[in-house]
Amino acid sequence: MYHLPSLYDILHTPGTAEDVSLYERIARRFGAKATRWLEPGCGTGRHLRVLARRGYRAVGFDLDEDMLAYAKLSLARRRLAAQLFCANMEAFAQHLSAGYFDIAINPFSTIRHLMSDAAMLRHFSEMATALRSGGLYVVGISIANYASDRQETDLWLANRGRCHVRQQISYTPPSGGGRIEQVESRLRITRPSGQQTHTDGYSLRTYDERQWDALIKKSKLHRAASLDEWGKPLEGRQPPYQLEVLEKQH
């Protein structure tokens, strides 16, 4: 649904302020200054809007021009300032001052759009260049358990004014030793003028705990903590979704 930025924003904006508050608490817990924020894959700019409203220096980039256009307009309408540019997650540091950012955020498995270890390591290298020494990278990711993962379905409901959006997302895990999860999205949009439906899909690369840990150890970042979606240490648990706190070492 990335080609439908207004609908994406309706679905995903609820809860954004609470998410940013969680990232602020994580930054304080790990002693990050956190005045300069970076968001790869910023989409419609919903996190950037909250960050800018709270007085932070916020920068985001995305590969999708429609998403960026929406983000720029949504910021301008609210008279908020954030820097936006077009780039992919493997090559973005040339647009930024090296060592500038205190914290970066990349929630909701966006990072899994990178389809190889080599691509991920290039991304981590770019991020290490962008972060200051001791800076944090908070990554939201679902870690696979290949022995027990089964097809799952999520349902999202949201509205803005008289526009109601229903999204059903199905996740089909890889089989036969593969690493690609298939995601299918079904949208139903209801307006006073009538109802529309959209169906599309995309792929995400999977990582189990061993694969994820091995990848981080090859990168220029240090795995500082693994937290659940409320910011609590996992302590041996494997939730459906977790926050990985990665740190650029001094």
DSSP string, 151-177: -EEEEEEEEETTEEEEEEEEEE---TT
Instruction: Give the per-residue pLDDT at 156.
Output: 96
Lowest mean pLDDT: which of 81-85, 133-137, 174-178, 180-184? 174-178
Per-residue pLDDT reduced to its tens digit, 8-23? 999 999 999 999 999 9
Say if residues 207 and 149 touch (Cβ distance below 8 Å). no
Q: pLDDT per residue over 87-140, tens digit each?
A: 999 999 999 999 999 999 999 999 999 999 999 999 999 999 999 999 999 999
What pLDDT score was predicted for residue 8? 95
Residues 148-164, mean pLDDT to the nearest whole number: 96
What pLDDT is attached to residue 57? 98
Q: Decide if pLDDT at 167 tops 80.
A: yes
Mean pLDDT on 142-159 = 96
Predicted pLDDT at 3: 81
Sign for the pseudo-dihedral over CA of 53, 55, 56, 62: positive
Question: Is the pLDDT reported for residue 142 higher than 90?
Answer: yes
What pLDDT was estimated at residue 113?
A: 98
Q: Does 168 score more than 80 pLDDT?
A: yes
For the 5-144+206-247 domain, the top CATH level (class) is alpha beta
For the chain, the domains span 5-144+206-247, 152-205
| Average pLDDT in the chain | 96
- Is the pLDDT assigned to residue 2 strictly greater than 80? no
The domain defined by 152-205 carries CATH number 2.40.50.140:
no
- Tokens describing residue 57: 């220096």
Question: What pLDDT does residue 95 have?
Answer: 96
Confidence of residue 194 (pLDDT cuts 50, 70, 90): very high
pLDDT in tens, 202-242: 999 999 999 999 999 999 999 999 999 999 999 999 999 99
249 band by pLDDT with thresholds 50, 70 and 90? confident
